[in-house]
Amino acid sequence: MTCIIFFNAPCLLLCVSQFERSMKVVEKKIEVPPCDKCGNLTGSMFCSLDKTEIGQLSSHKSFNLYKKGQVVFYEGNQPQGLYCIYSGKVKIHKLGDDGKEQIVRLAKTGNVIGYRALLSMDNYYATATALENTLICFFPKLVYLDLLMKNPEFSMKTIKILSGDLKTAEQMVTNMAQKHVRERMAEALLLLKEFFGLEEDKATINTVLTREDIGSIAGTTTETSIRVLSDFNKSKIIKLVGKKIKILNNRELSKIANVTE
Please state the closest distance from residue 252 (CB atom) to another protein, in A: 18
Task: Read off the DSSP letter of residue 84.
Answer: E
Minimum distance from CB of 255 to another protein (Å)? 13
Q: In terms of Cα–Cα distance, which of 151, 130, 250 is closest to 193?
A: 250
CB closer to another protein out of 110 and 215 = 215
Residue with smaller CB distance to another protein, 30 or 156? 156
CB of residue 170 to another protein, shortest distance in Å: 6
Buried b (16+ CB within 10 A) or exposed e, 85-98: bbbbbbbbbeeeee
Rounded to a whole number of angstroms, the minimum distance from the CB of residue 22 to another protein is 42
- Beta carbon nearer to another protein, 46 or 86: 46
Show Cβ contacts of residue 23 under 8 Å, excluding neighbours closer than 6 positions. none
C-alpha 138/C-alpha 127 separation (Å) is 16
* Chain positions contacting another protein, by CB under 8 A: 94-98, 100, 102, 104, 116-117, 119-122, 125-126, 148-150, 152-153, 155-156, 158-160, 162-167, 169-179, 219-220, 258, 260-261
Please tell me the distance from the alpha carbon of residue 48 to that of residue 33, in angstroms, as a whole number. Answer: 19
> Closest CB to another protein among 145 and 240?
145
Spatial contact of 110 and 7, defined as CB atoms under 8 Å apart: no
